Copies of this chain bind each other. A is one copy, B any other.
Amino acid sequence: MNEERVKELLRKSGLKVTSQRLMVMNILASHPDSHLTAEEIYDLAKENSPEIGLATIYRTLQVLLDLHLINKVTFDDGFTRYELNGEKGASGHRHHHAICTGCGKVYSLETDLLDSLEQEVLEKLGFVVTDHEVKLYGLCQECREKKDESEENGT
């Protein structure tokens, strides 16, 4: 993560550079693909700054969302999660997730194969896509093997 870019973006938006804001960015940067919840970020932040408050985490996350530095994602498990908004090249698109319905594990994918879908939406609806989020639900290899085994045993 480029800390200077974050500081610059904050200043440019008339916001102040505070240790709390940088810390939340650093926590998210050092836990790629973890999809942390606000509570988890809070616990990690307390390791360095025990006096930090949960309200600050929520307010900071809102600021970072407004600056498009991070993304909000939900896997329909009742928790709101946050991840760094990677700035990979021209697309700027967030990455995709494959969620195993067996073990709940979340895989992150970098592929970006929605061009034809986005083209179709533009033609049919006049809707210009600037970002997208894809969630694939299914069974990971491990859970698939487990399932095959139990079926062999006639369960």
Given contacts A72-B76, A113-B117, A114-B134, contact A98 B129 (CB under 8 A): yes
CB proximity to B under 8 Å, residues A55-111: 72-74, 76, 80, 96, 98, 100-101, 107, 109, 111
Contact status A129-B133, CB under 8 Å:
no
A145 to chain B, nearest CB (A): 9
State whether A116 touches B117 (Cβ < 8 A): no
* A140 touches B (CB below 8 Å): yes
A144 cross-chain contacts in B, Cβ below 8 A: 126, 128
Chain B, residue nearest A133 (CB): B135
Name 15 A/B residue pairs within 8 A (Cβ), A-sorted: A74-B74, A111-B117, A113-B117, A113-B120, A114-B134, A117-B134, A118-B136, A126-B140, A127-B139, A128-B138, A129-B136, A131-B136, A131-B137, A132-B134, A132-B136
Residues on A lying within 8 angstroms of B by beta carbon are 72-74, 76, 80, 96, 98, 100-101, 107, 109, 111, 113-114, 116-118, 120-121, 125-141, 144
* Ranked 9 nearest A-B pairs via Cβ: A126-B141, A129-B138, A131-B137, A133-B135, A130-B138, A113-B117, A74-B74, A129-B136, A132-B136
